[in-house]
Amino acid sequence: MASLVVRGLEKSVKEQLAAQAKEHGRSMEAEVRHILTQATHRPHVGLALMRAAQEAGGVEDLPVPQRADPARSADFG
């Protein structure tokens, strides 16, 4: 298994992790492992929406309006 070192972690974050780990009955290391594992297993929103549409019978008959205005770039100024 790989190791990971996190430098520059704020003291308040470490304290919150310690409290959360204690609340869940885990070591801080186990708590961080759990958090990272959960973060990497989030569902893909686009795929979830596609599956929901398929389960609802699809979206083939939805009208798609034609665009009359030309595409333009965003102005961040």
Residue 75: inside a domain, yes or no?
Answer: no
2 in a structural domain: no
List CB contacts of 30: < 8 A, sequence separation 6 or more: 21
Query: How many whole angstroms from its chain centre is CA 70?
Result: 33
Q: What is the pTM of this model?
A: 0.54
Does residue 19 fall inside a structural domain? yes
- Which tens digit of pLDDT belongs to each residue from 4-45? 999 999 999 999 999 999 999 999 999 999 999 988 887 788
Domain extent for 45? 11-55
Task: State the pLDDT at residue 77.
Answer: 83
Confidence of residue 63 (pLDDT cuts 50, 70, 90): confident
CATH number at residue 23: 1.10.1220
> Whole-angstrom Cα distance, residue 60 to residue 53?
10
Query: Read out DSSP for the chain?
Result: -------S--HHHHHHHHHHHHHTT--HHHHHHHHHHHHTTPPPHHHHHHHHHHHTT-STTS--PPP-SPP------
Q: How many domains does the chain have?
A: 1
